[in-house]
């Protein structure tokens, strides 16, 4: 009678554990890669928004600097004081006409 070879043993158990370890490592690497990809996409979008915000603030700063340069002009200061702040010189009388 022939003896059957027993293929299960310590060698195949070690191979199974190594195979499972490779699968676990592969899954962990994949999930880490997905997390990094999502984080990169969020950071790229945040960077785009910050660049747009910086550009808007740069334009606003340039406009304010130009307005500040005009603020040194006495005629401009008087115009703003009269139109926006309703200021008048002492002794002036203001007549307002309403449409009613």
Helices (H) and strands (E) counted in the chain, each on its own, are 2, 0
pLDDT digits (tens, 9 = 90+) for 51-67: 999 999 999 999 888 87
Q: Is 98 among the domain residues?
A: no
Which tokens hold the place of 74? Answer: 């006495």
Give the phi and the psi of residue 60 in degrees, each rounded to 5: -65, -40
The predicted structure's pLDDT at residue 65: 87
Determine the 3-state secondary structure of 10 from DSSP.
helix
Q: Is 6 among the domain residues?
A: no
Give me the domain span that covers residue 55.
Answer: 11-83
Length of the chain: 100
pTM of the model: 0.51
Quick one: pLDDT band at residue 79, thresholds 50, 70, 90? confident
More confident site: 96 or 15:
15
Q: Is 30 among the domain residues?
A: yes
How many structural domains comprise the chain? 1
Residue 3, exposed/middle/buried by CB under 10 A (0-12, 13-18, 19+)? Answer: exposed
Q: Is 95 among the domain residues?
A: no
């Amino acid at each position: 009678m022939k003896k059957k070879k027993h293929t299960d043993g310590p060698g195949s158990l070690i191979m199974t554990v190594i195979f499972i370890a490779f699968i676990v490592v592969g899954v962990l690497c994949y999930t880490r890669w997905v997390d990094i990809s999502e984080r990169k996409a969020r950071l790229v979008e945040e960077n785009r928004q910050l660049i747009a915000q910086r550009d808007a603030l740069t334009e606003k700063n340039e406009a304010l600097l130009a307005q500040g340069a005009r603020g040194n002009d006495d005629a401009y200061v008087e115009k703003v004081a009269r139109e926006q702040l309703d200021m008048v010189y002492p002794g002036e009388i203001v007549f307002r006409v309403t449409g009613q």
